[in-house]
Structure 1
Amino acid sequence: MTETVATPEVLADDEFIADWGHPTHAHDFHQFLYVPLGRITVTAHGREHRLSPSVGVWIPAGVPHSARFGPDSMIVVETFETDLYPLQHTEATTVNVTDPQRALLLGRMRRSAPGNDAEVFAALSTGPRASLPLPRPSSRVALAVAEQLSRTPSDPRTAAEWARSLHSSSTSLRRAFRAETGLAFSEWRTRLRLNQSLELLDRGYLVGAVAARVGFTSANGYILAFRRHFGQTPGAYVRRSAARSA
């Protein structure tokens, strides 16, 4: 006897939304979720996507997903019809939200009349396709480190050295990164360096020069980290980017 696996019914949000979140469901439209305050976790196909004020998620039409809301979370939802707005993603995909995108999303919340959906879709679809999700910490010391590293990713200081320079402890700094971003300090810094390397690769810098500029001690270490996180080498990324542009 063949077992039939039921698929989630396509429902409107207000039919099943609860204080804690959403049970598993799917939509017949594309959806972009953003959390300007608090945090939520979206689960799709067994994979968790943690959203924060610096990370949003695209959920393509038909993808079953659920959501858990953190306390006092504010959620921004943008929806797009599939026949009008073709989405490059086929799975739920987290993306980094830039300051201009954040301003646009919050501005939409303040308007009583609907804005230009095409403009919003285009704005939310910009940015490096391969960019790794990188939540920003919120506490004073961790945020100061994150901002300085964003300006100078090649800074070689360890967590202990950063903590001393900001009159804190390395334990507190590491705990803050883990609690506020879901990532260890070293992993957060690696993701930052890899994300910033994408722009340099797009601008035509050689792999060795890119590795040095973003803080890797060797080109080989950079290539290994790039392949581990992006599933391809920097050279393959450059070739595919060139092919897409062509």
Structure 2
Amino acid sequence: MVRASRGAVTPGMWRREAGTVVRPAAPLPESAAGAILAGSRIVPGPTEWSPHSHSLHELVWVRGGTLTSRVGDRVLTVVEGHGLWMPAGMVHGGRATAGAEFSDAFFVPERTPFVFTEPMAIAMTPLLESLLTHLASARLDAEARARAESVVFDVIRPSERQFALQLPGDPRIDAIAETLLDDPSDGRSLEDWARRLEISDRTITRAFRQATGLSFAQWRQMLRVHRALMLLAEGFEVATVSEVLGYAQPSSFIVAFRRVTGVTPGAFFDAAAEPSRDVRNSVSRDQNS
């Protein structure tokens, strides 16, 4: 039987898995050849980036894994086919699952002709990903770089799937949130928590609604799906993920996952991976032509 890893607790994030590498933010180049700086690297094991901020806007995306970021009182998760936009100056921490191919692009604010002022998921279409991969080349001359950047500015769009978990930030119920972040399988009921915290279940219900817009049960379900995305991306079977998250049977987990995302786990990841498969096939064709 597989259980969630027991490591150090990271406030507002998941319990840190054994073997997680904690890294500081990589330093940015002192000067940019253009408006966009792009690159990629493989994350060999579970990797976490300490809270930090950048002087540039950042767009990060992964293949073969998930990326989770804590920004203030929100936890955002993106899977393959989606990127995460982080505005300049915003403090955030991040975590990528083992084996993920991690890519990022930094946008010089004064040269970027659009403004996304909040962290958000970006649709990593085949065209956008190909353009950013192209811009990672150091061999581009100034004119070619400017042409590619102008197309990026035209095609970059927020994703239709914005997957963010609002943390309560309410001292009356923060203990519930931190406990469930540590162990999403915790199955204590509203009444159980009311007795433990010595407040009424009605107070807990109102606090969750006011802070997150969700009921306690809905919030826990959303949290479990965030964790499920990480586990499924690491290759765990649906039955194992269901057990780790405290569901009595896989069918119950699938129903909950569909309630939050609109699709089954298999359909979710098939749809997410399709744009990246298109990019890889396109790159392969270009290399063989």
* TM-score between the two structures when normalised by the length of structure 1: 0.49
More contact order relative to length (CA 8 Å, sep ≥ 6): 2
